[in-house]
Structure 1
Amino acid sequence: MSKCKIYEMPDYVGNEVKKVIVNEPCVIVILKTGEKGVAKCMDCDEFKEERGFHIALERARKERCKNDIKRHDEIIKQYITIYDNFDKMNNILTN
């Protein structure tokens, strides 16, 4: 028999966590934005569900930050392209 537990977070809770999966010795946290964090207990350690949750949550948040940085980089690249094209057009019109 599996020891897997799945906690679906209802919307009224209002936090960032969508789902928590506990399958001893692993805890997986899935954020509402889709990022996933995993914490796995080593054989020599005692499994504590709450501690695993906090570690997995921080790893998911770290993943979300990485994705945010990638999105911001893409936006900056688009602005640079638009600005460069604007300068080229401005030079053509003024000459």
Structure 2
Amino acid sequence: MATLTLNVRFTAKAGRESELREVLQNMIEPTVAEEGCLAYELYLHPTDPSKAVLLEEWVDADALARHFETPHLEACAAALDELLVEPFQLRRFTEI
């Protein structure tokens, strides 16, 4: 079975860039500890501090579904509602 890779894009409201970065950084440790998480990496845009992307890799869709139910993701999602200009963009990819 092919792994599942996610590209999740975020754009912070003006003046909320550091808060967004902190919220996303706080997700890394508990997420990489989850069963089925192969990678969970945060990247910031080199010239626009309002933009960030998470690159995630999961063993399968079931592992990702379990991640969506974790308390740390629920807390992050609640914080994101206040920090983002628009809803985050999540794209799913599989290996070919």
TM beyond 0.5: no
Larger Rg: 1
Report the structure, 1 or 2, having the larger strand content: 2
Report the structure, 1 or 2, having the larger helix content: 1
TM-score by length of 2: 0.28
Bigger relative contact order, structure 1 or 2, given CA contacts below 8 A and separation 6+?
A: 2
